[in-house]
């Protein structure tokens, strides 16, 4: 007799014309194992190991698109350059050899970048309004003169260049054999900087009301969809990751009300987004007052599109605290299963538990929950 977890997780799902064999997704997680932007063979094997052990869909760590201001790390992976693309091709083949599916997460960090950061030290940080995105952000949201992360507001040419870079990145991913893409529109990175009124102070068509602040994301989605349609047959989903919280402000809200969220989702769905990945630090927290629905729940309800939930599944402390070394204990997932059973959301992304135990999904799917290796911060230290 399969366990309740096995029953609920093992159901397939149609995601934008692609069948995901079960409901367990590997959350995108940067592992700093891509020297000069080239994903290592260890990283390819690490993704393949999760695919071989039951993960229905692997979403890669964030991968920089081909724009000089997109990133900030030498060992963060890139979706450009022959060596990096050959590396990703090896990773895709390794996942497919295990029968798995893999999406690339495409990333531009915007004003999280500091001038002088690698991999292109000469490039300035750019964002909707040049508002710094670090712990010392001025409460007014305006640039602080002596802030080392100060950059500049994007011109229309900058916007067009970055939209093109996302579209090229997606087409490249499609040609390399990835099964879909996720656009990183969460956590205070570039796309999210446009959503958030504090980082988006523009008075042109990309700023102002909620709908205008979603214009940049909608342009990215539309161009990405057009680019992948030109590269591969249908059935290559485009997912958008969203969050309220920012790396530099956990209490931030890009979407003050369900109506605001609905306006944004409508624009992105109209542009061609197939599904949404609603990133929360703790999945059990309600997104808006007056309802128990979490952000993925609201996203599914408002958009009618499949939604991925994420955030401390099976853990009692969030990932950001884990990164700073705080203790975290394993918990039950009955509450998550209740929500999955009621179709509040469709897919469940798992982050840290899958770093700690490559067999997390297989063990859940075969009633061997008790054999799962618990996550500890030490697991973050290596890619295995
Ligand atoms: C992350 N997370 C993350 N998110 C994202 O959209 N792109 C990324 O590249 C990363 N990188 C990253 C690295 C590491 C080491 C961790 C632990 C997390 C966030 C991640 O996708 C997920 O939302 C959180 O980890 C919450 O899920 P868990 O860990 O609570 O299951």
Going by pLDDT thresholds of 50, 70 and 90, the confidence category of residue 135 is low
Task: Judge whether 258 and 289 are in contact, CB under 8 Å.
Answer: no
Residue 27 CA to ligand 1 centre (angstroms) = 6
Mutate to test the pocket of ligand 1, among 240, 296, 316, 319 (most ligand atoms within 8 A of CB): 319
> Which of these ranges, 67-76, 102-111, 139-148, has the smallest mean pLDDT?
139-148
CATH of residue 101:
3.20.20.70
In whole angstroms, give the CA distance from residue 109 to residue 205: 21
Per-residue pLDDT, 249: 86
Which residue minimizes the CA distance to atom 18 of ligand 1? Answer: 29
Q: With DSSP H G I counted as helix, E B as strand and the rest as coil, what are the percentages for the chain, rounded to 5? A: 35, 15, 45
**pLDDT above 50 for 142:** no
> In the predicted model, what is the mean pLDDT of residues 22-48?
98
> Residue 375 CA: which ligand 1 atom is closest?
29
Q: How far is the CA of 205 from the centre of ligand 1 (A)?
A: 32
The Cα–Cα gap between 12 and 322 comes to 31
Give the model's confidence band at 149: pLDDT under 50 very low, under 70 low, under 90 confident, else very high.
low
Backbone torsion region of residue 82, taken as left when φ is above 0, otherwise alpha when ψ lies between -120 and 50, otherwise beta: alpha
The pocket around ligand 1, CB under 6 angstroms, is made up of 27-30, 61-62, 105, 184, 186, 241, 279, 310-313, 315, 319, 350-352, 380
- pLDDT for residue 8: 98
Q: How confident is the model at residue 139 (pLDDT cuts 50, 70, 90)?
A: very low
pLDDT of residue 137 exceeding 50, the answer is no
Q: Partners of 107 in the beta sheet?
A: 64
Residues involved in catalysis: 189
Window from 48-62, 66-80, 111-125, 209-223 with minimum mean pLDDT: 111-125
Confidence of residue 116 (pLDDT cuts 50, 70, 90): confident
Q: State how far the Cα of 98 lies from the Cα of 27, in Å rounded to an integer.
A: 18
Tell me how far CA of residue 15 lies from CA of 20, 101, 117, 198, 227, in angstroms: 7, 12, 37, 33, 19
Least confident segment among 2-16, 118-132, 285-299, 336-350:
118-132
Instruction: Give percent of the chain with pLDDT exceeding 90.
Output: 89
**In angstroms, what is the span from residue 1 Cα to ligand 1's centroid?**
33
Which ligand 1 atom sits closest to the C-alpha of 27? 21
Question: For the chain, how many structural domains are there in total?
Answer: 1
Average pLDDT over residues 238-244: 98
In three-state secondary structure terms, 329 is coil
Averaged pLDDT for residues 274-293: 98
The pTM (predicted TM-score) of the whole model is 0.97
pLDDT of residue 151: 86
d(CA 337, CA 340): 5
What the block records as the tokens of 184 is 């990183």
pLDDT per position as a tens digit, 170-201: 999 999 999 999 999 999 999 999 999 999 99
Q: Whose CA is nearest to atom 6 of ligand 1?
A: 28
Q: Looking at residue 198, what is its pLDDT? A: 92
Spatial contact of 182 and 105, defined as CB atoms under 8 Å apart: yes
- Give 312-316 contacts, CB < 8 A, sequence gap 24+: 312/281, 312/282, 312/283, 312/284, 313/283, 313/348, 313/349, 313/350, 313/353, 314/350, 314/353, 315/352, 315/353, 315/375
Residue 147 belongs to domain spanning: 4-381
Report, as an integer, the average pLDDT of 202-219: 98
Q: What percent of the chain has pLDDT over 70?
A: 96
240: which 2 tokens? 């958008």
Closest of 185, 239, 282, 332 to residue 20, by C-alpha = 239
Rounded mean pLDDT, 246-269: 95
In whole angstroms, what is the distance from residue 51 CA to residue 358 CA? 9
CA distances from 179 to 15, 176, 247 (A): 11, 9, 28
Sign of the Cα torsion 353, 236, 32, 184 reads negative
Whether the predicted pLDDT of 138 surpasses 70: no
């Amino acid at each position: 007799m399969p366990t309740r977890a096995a029953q609920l997780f093992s159901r397939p799902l149609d995601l934008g014309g692609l069948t995901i064999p079960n409901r367990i997704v590997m959350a995108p997680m940067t592992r700093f194992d891509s020297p000069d932007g080239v994903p290592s063979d260890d990283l390819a094997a690490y993704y393949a190991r999760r695919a071989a052990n039951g993960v229905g869909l692997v979403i890669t760590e964030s991968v920089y698109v081909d724009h000089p201001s997109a990133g900030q790390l030498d060992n963060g992976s890139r979706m450009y350059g022959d060596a990096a693309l050959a590396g990703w091709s090896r990773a895709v083949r390794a996942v497919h050899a295990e029968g798995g599916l893999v999406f690339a997460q495409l990333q531009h960090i915007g004003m999280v970048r500091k001038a002088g950061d690698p991999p292109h030290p000469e490039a300035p940080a750019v964002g909707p309004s040049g508002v710094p995105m670090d712990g010392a952000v001025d409460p007014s949201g305006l640039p602080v003169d002596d802030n080392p992360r100060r950059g500049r507001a994007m011109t229309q040419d900058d916007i067009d260049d970055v939209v093109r870079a996302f579209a090229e990145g997606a087409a490249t991913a499609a040609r390399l054999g990835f099964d879909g893409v996720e656009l990183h529109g969460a956590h205070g990175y570039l796309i999210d900087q446009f959503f958030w009124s504090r980082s988006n102070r523009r008075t042109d068509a990309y700023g102002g009301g909620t709908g205008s602040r979603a214009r940049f994301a909608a342009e990215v989605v539309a161009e990405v969809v057009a680019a992948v349609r030109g590269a591969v047959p249908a059935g290559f989903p485009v997912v958008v990751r969203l969050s309220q919280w920012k790396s530099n402000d956990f209490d931030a809200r890009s979407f003050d009300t369900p109506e605001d969220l609905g306006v944004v989702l409508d624009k992105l769905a109209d542009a061609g987004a197939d599904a949404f990945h609603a990133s929360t630090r703790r999945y059990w927290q309600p997104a808006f007052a007056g309802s128990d629905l979490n952000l993925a729940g609201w996203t599914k309800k408002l958009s009618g599109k499949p939604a991925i939930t994420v955030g401390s599944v099976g853990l009692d402390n969030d990932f950001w605290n884990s990164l700073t070394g705080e203790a975290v204990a394993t918990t039950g997932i009955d509450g998550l299963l209740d929500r999955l059973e009621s179709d509040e959301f469709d897919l469940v992304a798992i982050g840290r538990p899958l770093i700690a135990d490559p067999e997390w999904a297989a063990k859940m799917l075969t009633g061997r929950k008790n054999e799962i290796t618990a996550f500890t911060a030490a697991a973050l230290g290596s890619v295995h």
